Amino acid sequence: MFAFRLTLAGTALLAMTAAAPAEAPAQKIARALSAGPPSITAHATVADMDDKGKMTVLRKGTNGWTCIPGHPGVVGDDAMCADAATMQWGADWAAHKAKPTNTKPGIAYMLAGGTDWSATDPFATKGTPIKEPPHWMVMWPVPKDSGLPTTPKDTGTWIMYAGTPYAHLMINGKP
């Protein structure tokens, strides 16, 4: 789903890193900024994450948003821009906490699209990858009985990880 998958995709990332030439910071920054709207990315921090979840700031920002370039070809490790509440949600997910601890809804953008191993299991690390069109997300519990679809769609809105504490709203399209 997004860059926090690095902790689970470490083996694939290390294998790709050994085979791929190092990317220049400018390439990573450009990819990270492709994930969000210009009104967010213009003043966002850009940070790269390694396979252990350690962040390295590539560009300091001033608006409280963080954009991450992800690693091309690694399922669930796609470019994303996230606010502080979403970063907390992702840190909780990466730590396998029982539920996210953010105290307000988070917003994340993946306007370059994304991939994930599952639309139902937040901790899946294998399977047939799903492809997600450009979208943005509301990182806040969404009840499964909300009446919204719970399966991936190419248009409209649906609930990812429905029925789990990590359920969140997927809104396909660019705002």
Give domain limits for the chain.
3-139
pLDDT of residue 1: 52
Spell 73-100 as b/e; 16+ CB within 10 A means b. ebbbbbbbbbbebbbbbbebbbeeeeeb
Partner residues linked to 3 by β-bridges: none
Give the tens place of pLDDT for each residue, 115-148: 999 999 999 999 999 999 999 999 998 887 899 9
Distance separating alpha carbons of residues 55 and 111, to the nearest angstrom: 21
Question: Rounded to an integer, what distance in angstroms lies between the CA atom of residue 100 and that of residue 90?
Answer: 8
Q: Classify each residue of 112-144 as buried b or exposed e, where b means 16 or more C-beta atoms within 10 Å of its C-beta.
A: bebbbbbbbebebeeeeebebbbbbbbbbebee
The confidence score (pLDDT) of residue 69 equals 97
Position 166 pLDDT exceeds 90: yes
**Mean pLDDT across the chain:** 88
DSSP 8-state class, residue 22: P
